Each structure stands twice: as C-alpha cells, then as structure tokens.
Amino acid sequence: MFNQSSGFSFTGDSTFNNVYGHQMNSTIHAGTVNFSTGPAVGKRTERDEFQYMRRGDMITTKEIHSEELSEWDWELQNGELIGRYKSSTRKTCTIEIVGRQSKYTAMIYEGEDAQKLWEKDFQFFSRNKKPGSFQLFGINQSVIPALIFHHELIPCAHFFNRKSIWMDVYIEHLRTNLRCSWINLWMNTAGGILFSGPDGPSAPVPRSIADESIVVPTTVDMLKDDICVRFFVNFGSSVDVNILGYARMNSEPTYLDDLFLTTAEDHQSKDSDHPNWSPATRPYLHGLWRNSPDHPPINVIGRLRFSTVYSPLMEAVARWPPAAGSSWEWPEHSRKGLVGKKVLDGGLTRFQLDLTRGEEVYLEVYDKWRRFRHGWLSQSSRVFNAVDVTEGKEEFFIVEPPWLEIRSTRRPTASRTLHNRKSPVKETPPTPIYLFLCPLPISVSELVSWIEGQPYFWSFDETGQSRMSGEECKRWGLPVLTTSTGWSGESVRLVSWPTHVYTALRDWQKARGFDTATSDWARELGYPEWEIVGMRGVQEQKKAGRPWWQWEAIAGTEIMLNNSNSMEKTSLVHTHRFCQDWETFGARECMDAIAGYTRVGSCSPSCMVKKHQHEIRGTSNWLQFTLLPRSPSAILIRPLIAQMMADHPIR
C-alpha cells in the first residue's frame, strides 16, 4: 500500500481502508484515514472526437440522394433456414445547424438496420482525413442516427453538363485518375476541389475515352470549357481520338417525321408499278420514322445514300469520296465455309467455297460507321463553311445501314450422289467453286434489293463470267443463301449531332492550330477529304430571306401554310405560289417523281393539267399548286420541292 513511501508515521489505534478504483475523496476522523471513491470518469471513445448534434438542431434544406440498403437476414431455426427482409434507407442531404453559419452535408439512416449501417459508415469516415473528401464533423445517435460532414458537398449529377464536350472529357479523365465511378465524384464547394466519395445520384455516363497517362487537376475551374481546352491542348494529337470518340457517341436519332412539313399517305404505293415498302413488311426500314406510315414515300427514301450527309431539306451536302473505297467491311472472324476474299474491278466480291472447315456458309458485313462518323465530324467545320451554314447544324444528318448477315439455308455437300439404272454413281464437282456477291448497297433502294433479291451467284470461273444455273447449283448441292439484318429489329437509321458538338470540334481545331476552313485536321487523322456536293436549296433560302420550302397563300384563298403540320381548308380551292425563278418546269421524269406525291400526270409551263383533284401550273417565274378540299391525301411538300429543285436548277 505504501510502496516507495517515507517520512511519515501513524500513532494510536489506526485503521486503514484501501479502496481500489477511482480514489477521489479522503477524510480523517478520530485518527482514522478514510478513502472512498467519487464519481467515475468514463474512458474517452472514438465518438467523443466529434461534435454531438441534436436532431432538433439540424435543418434539412435539400435532399441530394436516397439509397435503399435493404437486405435479407437469414438464420437457422429448427434445422430450417428462415429469411427476414430488413428494410433500411440512407439519405444524403444538405443541412444547416442552428447557431452556425456554414452549410453541412449529412447522411441520415432510417429503418431496421439503421444503427448497424450507421456504425459501419462511422468506422470508415471517422478515419478519413484525405483533403477535400468527406471529413466527419459531428454525429447523432438517436433512433434516426446521422453522420454530419464539413461543408456543402455536391454530387457529379448536380453539376455535370451534358452539352459540354470538355466537361465530359475532363470528368472521364478525373474518374480514371481517381479509380472510381462517375457516381462517386463530388465537389467540395468550400475548397473548390473534386474528389471521390460515397455513391451519389445517377449522372449521365461520360461518352469520351480517357488517356490514362494524362493526370488532370482536381480543381473546379477545370469544369470551364476554355480552361479545359487550354489544359488538354498541351497533349496535342493524343487527345484527338478522345474528342472524336465523344463526338461520335453523342449522336442523336433523327426521323423523317421531323423533316416533312406534312406526313401523309403515299397512294403511289397502291399502284401495281410500285412495290409496297411498308415498314410492317420490311422491318429494316421502320427506324426511319417515329410513327411509320402505311405507305411510305419510296421516291424519297429510296434515293437516300449511306455515305452522304444531308441537309434538313434532304439535299445531299457532302459525301465520302468513292476513291477512298467502300464504306463496308467483311470481318474475317465471322466467316464460315468461305476463304480467299477478293474485290474485283467490277465491284463483285469473290470467295472460294471451303467445305473442309464445316458444313455451314456464313458471312457478316457491316459499314465502317466509326470511320465514317469520324471522317465527317473531323471536317464538318470545313463543309459548313463551304456551304455557308451558321445555324441549324443539328438538323443535318447521315444515313446508316444495318449490319447484314448472309447464311446458308441448305446443308452443303462436297459431292453429289447420282443414280442410274445399274448402280448409284458418286460424282464430285469440279473445284474450286466460287461465290460471287454483288456490290454492297450504297442506298436504301439497293439495300431493299439486296435483302429481298438474290445478290449472289456461284461459278466455276474465277472471273465470274459464267454463272451456274439453278439446276447446276441443285445438282452439286450448293447452299441456298439468304440475307437479313445482323440483329433482329435492326433498321436503317438517320443520325444527327447537336450544335454544341460541332462548336466544340471547331474550337478544338483552332486550339490545335488548324484552319477550320480546310480538311487539314481530318487528313492528319488519316481520313479522306470529303466531296462537297453543295446545298442549292439552303443557299436560295438565304437569298430570299426566308425558308425556301415555305409556301405563301395567294390573296383571297384564306389559307396559311408556314412550316405548319397541317393545312386548314376553308375555301373550295386553295392555291399556293412558290416564289422562285423557274425557267422551265415540265420534264417527264420530274413529273413522274412528283406523281408519287400528288397523283398528277404531266405538265409544262403556262398550262394546267388536272388529275385526281390536284392541279399544278408552271410559269417562267412561279409555280402554282392547287389542292382541292375533297383530296383524299395531303401533300409531302418538302420532298416534292426537293425533287423539283434537283431536276430543274434555278437559273
């Protein structure tokens, strides 16, 4: 008791009471020293290192994210595994605290496992002192426990701007550097930095591709386009692919419904001279419309080419140069029963039948959509500059075909057993046997022919000059091939890009030191220079000061048609003038095309022909079109005018 003590003594009848524990108080009474314990001082825990916030002092100002954390709790009862569903929720909110000026971020836990989840997160965040991250400020341990963090923290979903190509590029690089998902990115409003944290609300997935060798700053000023461009331009050509990758993936679908002033039933398709191109019977065309018509305008969609960029007036503006080769490719890894691909001078593609590798013939072919898109986007600034387009760029579109597959429907054999009166004779066909495929389609009409027809033939001649007849193919047991789209439901599609994509590409070219009026940047990237076809309609529109496809009502007809979706019929005959300088109008082929929309016969300047309740009259300086109220169909105005403009240039 008195170890290592000296210099004191006790006299008389003394009693010593030694009480173990917290010896806080002592008294001496009648020569007796009494020791007793006072109130115990509790040992400090990790939770004491943080402020305790009463729930009533926390004011929720905004809910950022709510996450369901429910789970099944399994236990063995009487030899049987019993499960109980336990529902819990973790909400992330911006809060204010009574008596404090700053805003804070809180995680609030509710449900059966609230305390368990709170404890798990507390163990993690109480040890986190990484600058700018979720740093714990206070706690609440009521029946609705909470963790309170320093500063107002904003998730990526709340500041991400889908219309900024540079924010997309930056966020993808930052996410890659931090080794986290985009939903784990947060902004510290006080420190002005971005960091990785817990799961936040869903945000648009970045569409660019990161270069892992580039380490980006974590400061919020990188979210500004100009600062981001100045940073990435230091890495030069290594970022070009990332920029084009974002642009390529940021495409949007376009539909013919959006291009026609009036969508209507095309009665031409009921004519025996014209096949039925209804998307119901040809599903690979349904992607051209939001709402597929029963009788599509085949004269319009049939001439659409796959390697061409079109204006909203459906005029060809620019196209992939033929000298650059086909926009289709044959992947060798998805080929069966055929070897030795060779493209002949006439456009035929030749394969040699090889039955030693299996009993099936199968081919896939798809368009080089990535290369085609990159080629267009890398020189879009040059094309728009050449045709003097400064606005409405989002309405320009390309036409992309579906992937195609060719497969055998009859089992091929290496020989054919023939029978005569005496005994069967096994006959082996001459070898080699060649398969010739017609040139791959470059337009919608050719695609229809390719899928619906027979775009191939067999031959023993390597030049393809002599074709096997159907009887010969049957005799030698050659496979019958069918063509279809690569995926069920795949269709021809129209693709466009938002204006901000074109703007970002132009700005990047300038920052890289390229002249946007040239194709220099595209050529450096390895893409051919596109042919500029021109845009007569839009150029005439600029001269006239108003959209050239707009029709104006002749005085007294009581009808207005100004880019509307319908025509109000309030008088017996409605006449519209097309105010442009036409020197001639009346070529038979032009009228044949127009007949598909208006059901007229033919017409020449200054004369009138009437048929099926429609009238067209042409003069030297204006075109008059009349639609009677009892007409059974509306008129597809844009393609009508586009066809006339194409066949009869304005002088």
408 beta partners:
481
SS3 content of the chain, % helix, strand, coil (to 5): 30, 25, 45
The predicted model scores a pTM of 0.69
**608-611 sheet: strands from edge to edge:** 552-553, 574-578, 623-627, 614-618, 608-611
Token duo for residue 117:
């989840």
Amino acid of residue 628 = L
Element (H, E) at 74: strand 71-77
Question: Which residues are within 8 A (CB) of 189 and not within 5 positions of it... i.e. 6 or more apart?
Answer: 151, 152, 153, 154
Question: Which residues are within 8 A (CB) of 555 and not within 5 positions of it... i.e. 6 or more apart?
Answer: none
In the chain the domains, ranked by start, together with CATH numbers, are 46-151 (3.30.200.20), 154-250 (no CATH), 302-485 (no CATH), 540-647 (no CATH)
pLDDT of residue 297: 72
pLDDT of residue 284: 86
| Dist. CA 577–CA 649, nearest whole Å | 18
**DSSP secondary structure of 507-550:** HHHHHTT--TTSSHHHHHTT-PPPEE---HHHHHHHHHTS-TT-
| Dist. CA 337–CA 307, nearest whole Å | 30
| Dist. CA 39–CA 19, nearest whole Å | 14
Element (H, E) at 625: strand 623-627
**pLDDT tens string 79-98:** 777 666 677 899 999 999 99
Give start and end residues of each alpha helix (H) in 365-514.
369-378, 380-386, 444-452, 470-475, 499-511
Question: Which residues are within 8 A (CB) of 601 and not within 5 positions of it... i.e. 6 or more apart?
Answer: 591, 595, 609, 611
Q: Of 236, 286, 328, 190, give the one whose Cα is nearest residue 525.
A: 236
**Segments in the chain below pLDDT 70:** 1-42, 70-74, 82-85, 132, 260-280, 357-358, 410-427, 535-651
Token duo for residue 505:
């590409």
